[in-house]
Amino acid sequence: MDAKKIINIAVIAHVDAGKSTLVDGLLNQAGVFRDNQEIDAQVMDSNDQEKERGITIYSKNCAIEYKGIKINIVDTPGHADFSSEVERIMKTVDTVILLVDSSEGPMPQTRFVTQKALELGLHPILMINKIDKKDQRAEEVVDEVLELFMELDADESQMNFPVLYGIAKEGIAQYDMTTPSKDLSPLLETIVTQVGSYDTDLSANPTRMQVSSLAYDPFIGRLGIGRLFEGKAKAGQSVSVIRNDGTQYNGKITKVFVYQGLNRVEVEEASAGDIVVIAGLPEISIGDTVGELNNVKAMDPIKIEEPTMSMNFLVNTSPFAGRVGKFVTSRNIKERLEKELEVNVGLRVEPLVNSDVEGFKVLGRGELHLSVLIEQMRREGFELGISSPEVIFHKNPQTGEIMEPMEKVIINVPTEYSGTVINKLNLRKGMMLDMDSDGVRDKVTYNVPLRALIGFRSEFTNDTHGEGILVQSSNGFEPYKGAIESRQNGVMISMANGVTVAYALSGLEPRGTLFVGPQTEVYEGMIVGQHSRSNDLDVNPTTGKKLTNTRSSGTDESTKLSPWKKMTLEEALEFIEWDELVEVTPDDIRLRKKWLTINDRKRHRNDQKKAIEEL
């Protein structure tokens, strides 16, 4: 297809603003789906975890045609932990559709993705979504976005952005609030007008492409995905590749693919302006520049924000290790993490030194970023021991001062709960930036150390009875804020191996919250509940009732237990302290102490004091 008839766009927004739903509408209007085809909602969210969590995790490509123009569409994640997925694809597109909720307005992640787009000189198209909401305030939101652009130092041409209004789930976009529309044609017309045609035929120039994403095919190996900025990419073409570090090597493109609808279609050659997929270069990596053989000019490296949090991925050493997992050794874990590094640019992996257990330190953009990887590995058959999350501190090169990552937190809670939440954020060294109330709900903005938010989300949910909304995004680094109190409660630790019985658990119920039910296998050192007090408590959940040959009235009734708390992976990671681990297997998620026996834990009390002092 002629390069003058190709436009590349990305849909960017905060989480839950309707990005994937809008892409569904564009695909539907373009006739990608058959009339009798059964279509899942958010069809681009094809990964199992994306469907279960209801969020976009990985950037994905598709393409439609409109009036003879091919429009490549990139659906991007909205959660701050996956912002590296957004950063790297910005250079492949001509413009972005900035989607903003008509009620919520610009949220923290909206600021981040907009800033990246403006820095690259893109001219966003603003679409105010969900205008059918009862509490919509579309016109105010437009003004808020304009203020955001001013804060981000947008130039005059970027400030003059087109505005549309719509309902993505109904496939509707309109030019203003009073002129109804039947489909997304106003949005498509705006895209064509905003981007226009290429000024020159870049296909005549030498080949030049930058890889922004990677994929893997079991038959043809690693695939490089990116925009073809100049020239043509042909099957069988010999090329030179310049890595991010400046080194160069030669290779051959064996296959070329482009996108049509949701499918990847093989072609003999692709022209400048298109988003292409190339095979045949097994060492290709994100940020690499692919060009004419011995005649390639490197493009600017793709810069990715540094990780802010780390966890240790350890070999599972519990008594139940190897029962259900297929991959349990250090070598298995190493190979899997190396494979993940090829496609997950926001991740870093370091081998552990001076550790009692073999494993790796994995650095990522947040708890969700790392927990998605852990969950994926669990489903693939891995067994792991995961340590508590730790934030990554930096040292100011000028002053030598310790700097810690901060988060901008926006909470929206019913007024009766706001006092409790504000008090807890204050205790966590948070600084209130703004507060607004309509008499029913309060909207509070805070600047909080990232380490203070570890474990806070579950507390927040309980304190607001599930009615609160909390969103957060990275807010740079600030000087270390001092010690922050950690978990207030101790845990109940099994001191025996065996199977839990209801009789023993009924005796433990008054002591705290149970994490296991009856007929559950436990081992010495496994955490079976949260203690109601601050100290750890060694218990025996396997003790049965002593039987006698004497029966008395009322003593043989069946034991009734309250529902026990079954921890999710995220809840478990937030809950554990420095001397505890999450045991992750394909079938179970368990909590345990690093040192399983009482004597071992006593021997490491000095380590505990030292760790608390360091924290």
The DSSP-derived string for 99-136 is EEETTT-S-HHHHHHHHHHHHTT---EEEEE-TTSTT-
Q: Which two tokens stand for residue 382?
A: 């891995």
Q: What is the 3-state secondary structure (H, E, C) of 160-208?
A: CCCEEEEEHHHCEEECCCCCCCCCCHHHHHHHHHHHCCCCCCHHHCCCE
The CA distance from 530 to 576, in Å, is 11
**Selection from 310, 388, 326, 356 nearest residue 585 by Cα:** 326
Q: Cα separations (Å) of 299 from 96, 225, 285?
A: 21, 15, 14
17 labelled binding-site residue: yes
> The tokens 């991740």 sit on which residue?
347
Query: Is the Cβ–Cβ distance between 410 and 471 less than 8 Å?
Result: yes
The low-confidence residues of the chain, meaning pLDDT below 50, are 1-3, 34-45, 199-200, 556, 612, 615
Structure confidence at residue 344 (pLDDT): 76
Query: Is the Cβ–Cβ distance between 310 and 393 less than 8 Å?
Result: no
Indicate the length of the chain as a whole number.
615
DSSP letter at 253 equals -
Structure confidence at residue 556 (pLDDT): 46
Q: Which two tokens stand for residue 106?
A: 């610009």
CATH topology of domain 202-292: Elongation Factor Tu (Ef-tu); domain 3 (2.40.30)
Structure confidence at residue 39 (pLDDT): 47
Residue 410 CA to chain centroid, in angstroms? 18
Q: Cα separations (Å) of 6 from 9, 336, 504?
A: 10, 37, 69
Structure confidence at residue 197 (pLDDT): 57
Structure confidence at residue 57 (pLDDT): 57
CATH topology of domain 491-547+554-614: OB fold (Dihydrolipoamide Acetyltransferase, E2P) (2.40.50)
Structure confidence at residue 420 (pLDDT): 92
CA dihedral 211, 212, 218, 221 (to 10 degrees): 20
The CA distance from 604 to 343, in Å, is 39
Query: Is the Cβ–Cβ distance between 385 and 590 less than 8 Å?
Result: no
> The tokens 């005796």 sit on which residue?
507
Q: Cα separations (Å) of 435 from 151, 261, 277, 445?
A: 19, 45, 48, 6
Amino acid, res. 559: T
21 labelled binding-site residue: yes
Helix axis angle, 138-151 to 108-119, nearest 10°? 50
Number of alpha carbons in the 13 Å side-chain half-sphere of residue 424: 22
**Neighbouring-strand partners of residue 435:** 444
Query: Is the Cβ–Cβ distance between 120 and 79 less than 8 Å?
Result: no
**Selection from 294, 265, 382, 367 nearest residue 335 by Cα:** 382
- Give the pTM: 0.78
**Selection from 458, 450, 456 nearest residue 364 by Cα:** 450
User: What is the SS3 assignment for 345?
Assistant: coil
Q: Which pairing describes strands 232-234 and 269-271: parallel, antiparallel, or unpaired?
A: antiparallel
CA dihedral 350, 241, 12, 144 (to 10 degrees): 90
Quickly count: other Cβ atoms within 10 Å of residue 485's Cβ. 8
550 labelled binding-site residue: no
DSSP conformation letters of 381-434: TB-EEEPPPEEPPEE-TTT--EEEEEEEEEEEEEHHHHHHHHHHHHHTT-EEEE
* Domain spans, the chain: 3-195, 202-292, 394-479, 491-547+554-614
Residue 507 CA to chain centroid, in angstroms? 41
Instruction: Determine phi and psi for 101, rounding to 5 degrees.
Output: -65, 135
Structure confidence at residue 40 (pLDDT): 47
129 labelled binding-site residue: yes
20 labelled binding-site residue: yes
> The tokens 């978990």 sit on which residue?
487
Quickly count: other Cβ atoms within 10 Å of residue 296's Cβ. 20
The CA distance from 14 to 473, in Å, is 10
CATH topology of domain 3-195: Rossmann fold (3.40.50)
User: What is the helix, strand, coil percentage profile of the chain, to 5?
Assistant: 25, 30, 40
Amino acid, res. 77: P
Structure confidence at residue 3 (pLDDT): 44
Domain over 394-479 is classified CATH 3.40.710.10 = no
The CA distance from 160 to 175, in Å, is 15
> The tokens 């992640």 sit on which residue?
109
Q: Which pairing describes strands 125-129 and 163-167: parallel, antiparallel, or unpaired?
A: parallel
130 labelled binding-site residue: yes
234 labelled binding-site residue: no
